[in-house]
Chains A and B, each alone.
Chain A
Amino acid sequence: MKKILLLIFICQVFLTVHSQVYLTRTGFIGFYSKTPFEDIRAENNQVYAAIDTRNKDIAFVLLMKGFVFTKELMQEHFNENYAETDKFPKANFIGKFSGNADFSKDGVYPVTVNGNLTIHGISHNIQIPATLQMKAGKLTGHAQFYIKPEEFNIRIPSIVRNKIEEKMNIIVDISCTPK
């Protein structure tokens, strides 16, 4: 009895240490808008992401000020007028993914990610398709989806409305290594 318990306990400790969590601090998230008047391209290469392959948890955190625009003035307007990054410095996502995936083997697995996206202090539940790929011990993730700035209470004045697309095209690319 004692020995069995000790064995389970050691297994438990072992599992905790190796709780299949994959992490990155250099993930990529970009958002894009294309209109005849203005192209917007903003990219953030300092996205923090964590994927727990056992519990199927997935989380993202990024600093809004980390978005770099092609035009400096756009970046200032984004920080000052739209995303109000002094007031809301971070955006985050916490959720779960579902789908058949065997991360003990290399392969590409299509999954569905479902969770809460918080931007500009507003949270919305989103469900998006994504792919996870296991390759040589590295777990990479890719997703592409659209969000409306207005849903996150980011107001766009009518005078510039035709310069910004209704929906922002979001691209996510992360490459995580075991914790």
Chain B
Amino acid sequence: MNISKIFLFIFLFSICKNLQAQDTTFLSMLNDSVAAHAKTTYVTGTFKGNHIVNMQTVESPAKGAMYFLIMHRFGALNSGAYNLFGLDNATLRLGFDYGITDLLSVGVGRTSLDKAFDGYIKYKFLRQTDGSNKNPVTADLLLGISNYTQRYPDKPYLDASYRTVYNAQLLVARKFNKFSLQIVPTFLHYNLVPTAQDANNIFALGLGGRIKLTNRMSITSEYTYLPPNQVVSMTVYNSLSFAWEIETGGHVFQLVFSNSQGMTEPYYITRTNGSWANGDIYFGFNISRNFNITKHAKLK
């Protein structure tokens, strides 16, 4: 009789358990399954576009996508009413960036300043993972080349090689929810520098960031520290820039304030001749438009 009581108890208990095992447990069973089979996913959207302001970001166009980027800087704000506070003068860079794969991209551009052409190749070799801290950062290697074609009839010796600058950058970025931070150790090589005291090989350290204000609006900023005694024959400053970034559909629009007039690595890192303290501020904008050149092959 004792044993049958125990059985009765177990029987009732198991019925209760069965009745309970519905609704919420049913859902939590699925949730447990999702958690158990979780795959590594990667953080996306560390930055909205390809540029913080002048500095490249770890982002790149997706496979088969192309960005058309217009970067535009007016003259310095302190150039007076005669020049309409810089609006009479403008520098422009037109660029195309194309994603060969989701991780590898190339780009070309031309800047009106010095009539310079530039090209780069960028490879994302590390991607920040979601949730788990397997990869805490996203990292890219960026290799670039720049060649200016401004004619100097008095300097016939300036051949293509003398006009070329190379740059190599390691872009390391992390997204902290609404805030993203990027550190960029930079190396530049000038084939020709103005005087013997100027260094051909130049090191610099860039720092960039973004704060999302809303889902489609953010403030970005970047600062590049150029250690002294590398560019000595001219007065140069560290580049400091801010942008107000707005995204609508396939466009990224940035309103820019910077003490750099140049927009590619050799120019903004080593040739920033404006100073914020003196009011040499260049106002301008970056407009990026995304085009899908090939159909994304992810879906069958």
Binding site for B on A (CB under 8 A): 1-2, 5-6, 8-9, 12-13, 15-16, 19, 23, 25, 41, 43, 48-50, 52, 55, 57, 59-61, 63, 65, 68-73, 75-77, 79-81, 84, 86, 90, 92, 94, 157, 159-160, 163
Q: How far is the CB of B41 from chain A (nearest CB, A)?
A: 6
29 A-B contact pairs sorted by A residue (CB < 8 Å): A2-B1, A2-B3, A5-B4, A9-B7, A9-B10, A9-B14, A12-B18, A15-B18, A25-B33, A48-B30, A50-B26, A50-B29, A61-B27, A61-B34, A65-B41, A69-B298, A70-B296, A70-B299, A72-B63, A72-B65, A73-B65, A79-B44, A86-B177, A90-B31, A90-B34, A92-B31, A94-B26, A159-B248, A160-B249
Q: Per-residue CB proximity of B173-216 to A under 8 Å, as 1/0? A: 00001000000000000000000000000000000000000011
Closest to B248 in A: A159
Asked if B45 is an interface residue, CB under 8 A from chain A, the answer is: yes
Closest to A118 in B: B27
Closest to A93 in B: B27
Q: Which of B11, B21, B62, B290 contacts A5 (CB 8 A)?
A: B11
Q: Which of A8, A12, A48, A76 contacts B45 (CB 8 A)?
A: A76
Majority-rule SS of A interface residues: mixed
CA distance A146 to B81 in the complex (A): 59
List CB contacts (< 8 Å) of B68-110 with chain A.
102
Q: How far is the CB of A15 from chain B (nearest CB, A)?
A: 8
Which residues of chain A have C-beta atoms less than 8 A from B102's C-beta?
72
Contact-residue bracket for chain B: 35 or more
Which residues of chain A have C-beta atoms less than 8 A from B62's C-beta?
71-73
CA distance A140 to B41 in the complex (A): 29
Which residues of chain A have C-beta atoms less than 8 A from B158's C-beta?
none
CA distance A145 to B177 in the complex (A): 33
Q: How far is the CB of B46 from chain A (nearest CB, A)?
A: 10
Q: Are B4 and A94 in contact, with the CB atoms below 8 A? A: no
Q: Are B34 and A63 in contact, with the CB atoms below 8 A? A: yes
Q: Are B34 and A9 in contact, with the CB atoms below 8 A? A: no
CA distance A15 to B11 in the complex (A): 12
Q: Per-residue CB proximity of B273-300 to A under 8 Å, as 1/0? A: 0000000000000000010100110110
Q: How far is the CB of A174 from chain B (nearest CB, A)?
A: 12
Q: Per-residue CB proximity of B6-36 to A under 8 Å, as 1/0? A: 0110110011001001111011011101100
Asked if B153 is an interface residue, CB under 8 A from chain A, the answer is: no
Q: Are A157 and B248 in contact, with the CB atoms below 8 A? A: yes
Which residues of chain B have C-beta atoms less than 8 A from A77's C-beta?
249
Q: Are A16 and B18 in contact, with the CB atoms below 8 A? A: yes
CA distance A19 to B19 in the complex (A): 12
